[in-house]
Amino acid sequence: MLDRLREICTIDGTSGDESRVREYIMNNINADEMHVDNLGNLIVFRKGRKTPKNKIMLAAHMDEVGFMVTDITDEGFLRFGAVGGIDPRVVLGRAVRFANGTLGVVGTKAVHQQSAEERKKAPDFDDMLIDIGAADRAEAEKFVSRGSCAYFDSDFFAFGDGYIKGKAIDDRAGCLMMMDMINSELEYDMWFAFTVQEEVGTRGAKAASFTVAPDIALVLETTTACDIAGVSGEKRVCCLGEGCVISYMDRSTIYDRALYQLAFDTARELDIPAQTKTVVAGGNDSGAIHISRGGVRTCALSVPCRYLHSPSCVIKESDYAAVKALSEAMAVRCCEL
């Protein structure tokens, strides 16, 4: 798992620029049917041994947070904005890369040149620039242009007792789980949606769910864990090492109560560690899927992840295994409801 997760996470693909991720997935699955829609979603059908009572769709998004060049200065520096929800505090001083291999560093005015007031707050994106080592605008334009996407240039590695660090684990972890399901022998026919543009408003999921028209959807995701020093009680949201996160509500979805209970019942029966979020926060593709067409019964199963939307997302391998096991079991049970 670790090697394959490294492979898919190190592929670059911000919202609207997911083609390299999609190509990797298409080249590594054995599907009975697959097509790419006009928005860029990859929709896959896998034949099982039986035809299910309910039409099931599993979904995970291919895109990651990143950056887009908005202007080039006369001096050859790049002004940029965020693609997706990124805290500017995790950006300053980071290395970034472009799809054509161009490398850069995010910088701002040196601290000893800042006023006392400027030192009190983190710089916003408007105050930062990407330095690609160009002498002027003309040289910079040989490598990048307005609209070029940049990505965190981040190492992927395992550390500690089963911890994994890397960029884009949100949501390449979910994509990899679905790839494994597609490549397995399925009990029932199932649909899979590898969606685009989740990080900028769950846009791909809206189109994919309309096309597939499922009765039930299982969304495989990562979700924010705040189990770090200085955070206690319910503000920890969820914890690494405590298993699959089963959501009951977030800022875009109130999840199907029967599926929520079925997920916990299944986890207990199969001895799969599971937990729920202690704070109503965030959102995912479920927000678009559950209100598609005449409504879709929806359940979200997530890997708890520290430092989400940063170059250093951290998950635990045991939690990944728990989400994978529970999603496979839930897919079968949802077919039989």
- Decide if 23 is catalytic: no
pLDDT in tens, 224-246: 999 998 998 889 999 999 999 99
CA atoms within 13 A on the CB side of 184: 12
Residue 160 belongs to some domain of the structure: no
Q: Does one domain contain both 50 and 176?
A: yes
Task: Select from 120, 152, 184 the last residue of a domain.
Answer: 152
**Predicted confidence band of residue 265 (pLDDT cuts 50, 70, 90):** very high
176: amino acid identity, one letter: L
Q: Does one domain contain both 199 and 308?
A: yes
Q: Does one domain contain both 13 and 138?
A: no
Q: Does one domain contain both 70 and 60?
A: no
CA dihedral sign, ordered 110, 114, 119, 122:
negative
CA dihedral sign, ordered 67, 208, 325, 246:
positive
Q: Does one domain contain both 205 and 276?
A: yes
Q: Does one domain contain both 171 and 284?
A: yes
Residue 161 belongs to some domain of the structure: no
The answer on pLDDT for 110 being more than 90 is no
pLDDT in tens, 162-186: 999 999 999 999 999 999 999 999 9
Residue 310 belongs to some domain of the structure: yes
Task: Select from 121, 152, 183 the last residue of a domain.
Answer: 152
pLDDT in tens, 62-103: 999 999 999 999 999 999 999 999 999 999 999 999 999 999
Q: Does one domain contain both 321 and 227?
A: yes
Residue 130 belongs to some domain of the structure: yes
Q: Does one domain contain both 187 and 295?
A: yes
* Number of domains, the chain: 2
Residue 30 belongs to some domain of the structure: yes
Which residue is catalytic, options 18, 64, 198, 199?
198
User: Is the pTM higher than 0.85?
Assistant: yes
Residue given tokens 């769709």 in the structure block: 57
State which residues form the domain around 97.
66-152
State the Cα–Cα distance between residues 215 and 336, nearest whole angstrom: 12
Residue 215 belongs to some domain of the structure: yes
Q: Does one domain contain both 188 and 306?
A: yes
Q: Does one domain contain both 59 and 203?
A: yes
Domain of residue 192, CATH code: 3.40.630.10
224: amino acid identity, one letter: T
Domain of residue 119, CATH code: 2.40.30.40
